[in-house]
Amino acid sequence: MFEDSAIHIFDKSTSTLTLFTGEIKQIDVNHLDKPDYLSAVKQKAISSGLIGESDFVCEWDV
């Protein structure tokens, strides 16, 4: 079920997405104050060709 998926980590404070491969990409998304902003981050990353549809985007919160 998850063999074609990867987990990527978004840092809201820097608007960067750390890909499973270790690459760090800037993701500019409006409305980071909305509760569903991670969905917008994922859609932007998919449309940019950075991640796949079945991948997961999680927030880095320290």
Rounded Cα–Cα distance for residues 50 and 32 (Å): 19
- The pLDDT tens digits for 8-26 are 999 988 999 999 999 999 9
Residue 15 contacts by C-beta under 8 Å, 6 or more apart in sequence? Answer: 26, 27, 28, 29, 32
DSSP symbols for 31-54: -TTSTTHHHHHHHHHHHTTSS-TT
Name the strands in the sheet holding 16-18, side by side, starting at the edge strand that comes first in the sequence. 24-26, 16-18, 7-11, 56-59
- The pLDDT tens digits for 29-48 are 887 788 889 999 999 999 99
Tell the residue number behind the tokens 């950075």, with chain if given: 50
